[in-house]
Structures are given as C-alpha cells and as structure tokens.
Amino acid sequence: MDLNNKTLVVTGVSSGIGAELARLARFCGATVIGVDRNEPQLTLDGFFKADLGDPQAIDTLLGQLPDSVDGLCNVAGVPGTAPLATVARVNYLGLRHLSQGLLPRMAPGSSIVNVASVLGGEWPQRLELHKALAATDSYATGQHWLEANPVDPATCYQYFKEALIVWTFQQSQHWFRDHGVRLNCVAPGPVATPILGDFVTMLGEERIARDASRMVRPALADEVAAVITFLCADASRWVNGVNLPVDGGLAATYL
C-alpha cells in the first residue's frame, strides 16, 4: 500500500492497533503524527499528548497539528469498564469533535477511519436514537442530548460504538460530496491488545465463552492496522460510508 506524501494523524498511537498502524503507515511512506495520553514507545514524525475526551484539549491539539492532513485514524478509545461519561466523551463526542475540527484541513482524496467494534452491530435496534444524537452539531449539544437521554452504563460501550457507526454513515455522503473526504469505519472483533481483559470483565465469562467457540482466535493488532492502512490509501479511493468487519468472520456466525 502506497502512502507516500501523505500525512496521517493517528490517535491511540502508543499501544495496540494505533501503534501497529503507525509502524505500518510509516513503512508505507506516510508521515505519522501520533496522539495519545501516554508517551509512545515507537518512532513517529511527531507526537502530541492530549485528553481526547476534553473538547478544550482537542482545540489545543488542533492548534498544534499540521495545516494540511491527508488522513485521520481515530483509534483511541476506552473500554466499557471506564465510567460512562468517559466512554461517551472519548469514544464518541471527542472523536467527532476532532474529526470536525480537522475536516477543513483535509484536501480532496483524504480519508477518515473510525475504529468501531463488532459490538456495535446492533445499531439498527436503536437507529432513531443514534440518528438524533448524530443530528447534534457540536460537542456541547451532543452532551446535552445525552443528559436528556441517559444511556445504560452496563451497555454504554456497545451504545457508543453503534452511535459512531451511524454518525459515520450519515456524514460520509456529505463530507465526500462537499469536501472529497472519505469517512469509513472498521469493526474489529476481539483483539489481542492491552485492554482485552477489560472486555472479558465488561461482557462476562458466558458471552466470552460463547464468542470464543465461534472464532479461530482473537485478531492481532497488525491485522486490523493493515485494513485501516488500506482505507487511508488511494487504492480505496472509492470506498466510502462503510463499516468493515475485521473479526475473522465472528459477526457472520450470528446470522
């Protein structure tokens, strides 16, 4: 995959999928600017520490990032074992705020890739709620909507991954038509990353055992990173508005 002359911003760059993505993207020729709340343990072309759940921190970050960006990979996220407010801010509201802020700097042909989850696959069951949240036009209005429409803490991770998929679908046509910027999701199943244990706690032993019987193994982080890299490359220039499962076929077993 050719990423020569492209500048990518990768959030969650210090571990897991984000770190593997940064390595692969640089190998493919990209200039990679990393963002994380932890210091990276890999070579990057630039790095900024930021709390991606805080809109003021994101605004500060936007003032530090390059004037021209060819790709934004929203990999950073927290598991459902985190407080509900943190899950909402990092996995949805902050991600959206950063994407909206970078959009004017992205030339036609650029790409935004959001990391959703196989756990977001039940979005059609709450479609009207997710569309209403997607219709809020800022971090603050989204936060106010969530205050008026509280989410169950036990399923907040799934809820906001569903909401992310719906927001991506809804924005993709408009952003591609008006700005030439593609917007897609990848939806991994279980991935062997530092937070895999949190998902065992979040979903419970019974669900984990049931899913384990349906798949060969958890994904490796580089297997997801390769798909994100493809979605940032010109080879995928006509792929827009998709939620691409990267789960070894796990989702298909539930049909």
Which phi and psi angles does 211 have, rounded to 5°? Answer: -70, -35
**Which of the 8 DSSP states describes residue 74?**
E
Written as six digits, the tokens of 34 are: 């990393």
Burial readout 57-94 (b: 16 or more C-beta within 10 A, e: otherwise): bbeebeeebeeebbbbbbbbbbbbebebebbbbbbbbb
For residues 199 and 197, what is the distance between their CA atoms, to the nearest angstrom? Answer: 5
Tell me if residue 157 is catalytic. Answer: yes
Nearest to 225 by CA among 8, 41, 5, 4: 8
What is the DSSP secondary-structure string of 166-201?
HHHHHHHHHHHHHH--EEEEEEE-SB-STTHHHHHH
Active-site entry in 92, 139, 157, 159: 157
List residues with catalytic annotation: 157
